[in-house]
């Protein structure tokens, strides 16, 4: 049984608490910390967690805690990872590690030195459809990978206050797609990013784009495209097409039911696609924690490493520079 201490009991922290409490047979929550102690208290009460605190170090250093799950605000990730590594605890941390490569490298060094395990929360790798596409690539069903398309559109833009501090579309949204690209087709060498402000002028006024089309050149020689929009009015649009010398593997969106209604005016799906990430990706949150638990308990390798957390940040930096300078940018330029 893996005894986990949770740091951060906000939206995503609660998702993880719920998942561990109800769906991970081999893990249990033994401590929870939140900047707001009453928030921690509420989660503790709901899931029967004995240790409650507003001091993350108390969780990290608690003797009953085998591993730490970091779901606090982004700017605290690196610090808590280092603290946990020093304390000899294995770590599951939400992405990104940090927005600064120097800080990321310092963090990863601490993890390496402490010889603890670190898994980054790129949950989409555990989505059933994307895993199935990955499998089709790995088992040779599509032959040599040649072209990759990622469609990744949110149902509606985040609040402008969030846009102002998120680091921009490439850092808070495309970063998942950069990881997906690497997961499926391997490392990228060069990025050409276009972006524009079509959804909401307020986003442009805040200095960000809301619509982007990004071209990837993979080290393998394959090519890729990422399509992002802050607003697909029909719902969360999350699709991948992997094309190769022997065929393709592609997914469609998920729906709350599989009903079609036909009438004198139309033939339509009875419902819109699952609306957002908590609906669409809920099983993948379980999947990543199952994998983390198994890796720690049974000494297996971590499926999403610190390096996997670092590279998408580099890719976002390259995309950002490409957009600014309107030219292809090699990842080596931003290292």
Q: Candidates 53, 129, 284, 293: give the one binding a second copy (CB under 8 A).
A: 129
Site for a second copy in 34-93 (CB under 8 A): none
- Distance, in Å, from the CA atom of 124 to the CA atom of 151, rounded to the nearest integer, reads 13
Q: Is 144 in the site for a second copy (CB under 8 A)?
A: yes
Minimum distance of a second copy from residue 176's CB (angstroms) = 18
Output the CA torsion sign for 152, 237, 275, 290: negative
Considering beta carbons, is residue 61 or 211 the nearer one to a second copy? 211
- Distance, in Å, from the CA atom of 304 to the CA atom of 9, rounded to the nearest integer, reads 22
Instruction: Work out the end-to-end distance of the chain between its first and last CA atoms, rounded to an integer number of angstroms.
Output: 40
CA-nearest of 196, 197, 206 to 166 is: 206
- Distance, in Å, from the CA atom of 237 to the CA atom of 253, rounded to the nearest integer, reads 6
Q: Is 227 in the site for a second copy (CB under 8 A)?
A: yes
- Distance, in Å, from the CA atom of 84 to the CA atom of 59, rounded to the nearest integer, reads 9
Phi/psi of residue 95, nearest 5 degrees: -80, 155
- Distance, in Å, from the CA atom of 18 to the CA atom of 23, rounded to the nearest integer, reads 8
Minimum distance of a second copy from residue 136's CB (angstroms) = 6
- Distance, in Å, from the CA atom of 76 to the CA atom of 215, rounded to the nearest integer, reads 32
Q: Is 147 in the site for a second copy (CB under 8 A)?
A: yes
Minimum distance of a second copy from residue 123's CB (angstroms) = 16
**165 CA to centre of own chain:** 18
Stretch in the footprint of a second copy (CB under 8 A) among 69-77, 104-112, 123-131, 307-315:
123-131
Site for a second copy in 206-225 (CB under 8 A): 211-213, 215, 217, 221-225
- Is residue 157 within 8 Å of residue 230, measured between CB atoms? yes
Strands 118-120 and 211-218: unpaired
x/- mask, a second copy, residues 157-196, rule CB under 8 A, reads -----------------------------------x-x-x
Stretch in the footprint of a second copy (CB under 8 A) among 17-25, 37-45, 89-97, 106-114:
17-25
x/- mask, a second copy, residues 251-290, rule CB under 8 A, reads xxxx-xxxxxxxxxxxxxxxxxx-----------------
Considering beta carbons, is residue 115 or 266 the nearer one to a second copy? 266
- Is residue 4 within 8 Å of residue 29, measured between CB atoms? yes
Partners of 150 in the β-ladder? 226, 240
Size of the site for a second copy (CB under 8 A): 70
Considering beta carbons, is residue 80 or 170 the nearer one to a second copy? 170
Note the residues at the interface with a second copy (CB under 8 A).
21-23, 128-129, 131-133, 136, 141-144, 146-147, 149, 153, 192, 194, 196, 198-199, 211-213, 215, 217, 221-225, 227, 229, 231-234, 243, 245-254, 256-273, 326-328
């Amino acid at each position: 049984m893996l005894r986990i201490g949770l740091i951060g009991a906000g939206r995503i922290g609660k998702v993880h608490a719920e998942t561990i409490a109800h769906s991970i047979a081999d893990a249990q929550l033994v401590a929870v910390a939140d900047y707001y102690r009453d928030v921690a208290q509420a989660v503790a009460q709901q899931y029967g967690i004995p240790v409650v605190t507003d001091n993350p170090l108390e969780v990290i250093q608690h003797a009953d805690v085998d591993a730490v799950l970091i779901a606090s605000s982004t700017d605290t990730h690196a610090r808590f990872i280092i603290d946990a590594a020093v304390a000899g605890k294995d770590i599951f941390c939400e992405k990104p590690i940090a927005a600064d490569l120097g800080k990321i490298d310092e963090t990863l060094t601490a993890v390496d030195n402490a010889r603890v395990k670190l898994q980054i929360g790129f949950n989409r790798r555990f989505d059933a459809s994307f895993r199935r596409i990955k499998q089709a690539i790995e088992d040779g069903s599509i032959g040599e990978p040649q072209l990759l398309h990622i469609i990744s559109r949110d149902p509606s833009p985040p609040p402008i206050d969030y846009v102002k501090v998120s680091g921009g579309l490439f850092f808070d949204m495309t970063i998942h797609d950069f990881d997906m690209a690497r997961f499926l087709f391997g490392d990228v060498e060069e990025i050409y990013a276009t972006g524009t402000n079509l959804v909401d002028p307020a986003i442009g006024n805040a200095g960000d784009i809301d619509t982007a089309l990004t071209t990837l050149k993979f080290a393998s020689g394959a090519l890729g495209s990422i399509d992002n929009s802050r607003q697909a009015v029909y719902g969360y649009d999350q699709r991948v097409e992997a094309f190769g010398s022997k065929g393709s593997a592609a997914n469609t969106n998920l729906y709350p039911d599989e009903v079609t209604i036909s009438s004198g005016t139309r033939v339509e799906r009875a419902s819109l696609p699952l609306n957002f990430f908590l609906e669409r990706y809920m099983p993948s949150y379980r999947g990543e924690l199952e994998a983390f638990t198994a890796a720690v308990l049974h000494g297996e390798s971590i499926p999403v490493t610190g390096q996997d957390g670092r590279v998408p940040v580099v890719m976002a930096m390259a995309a950002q520079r490409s957009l600014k300078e309107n030219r292809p940018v090699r990842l080596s330029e931003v290292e």
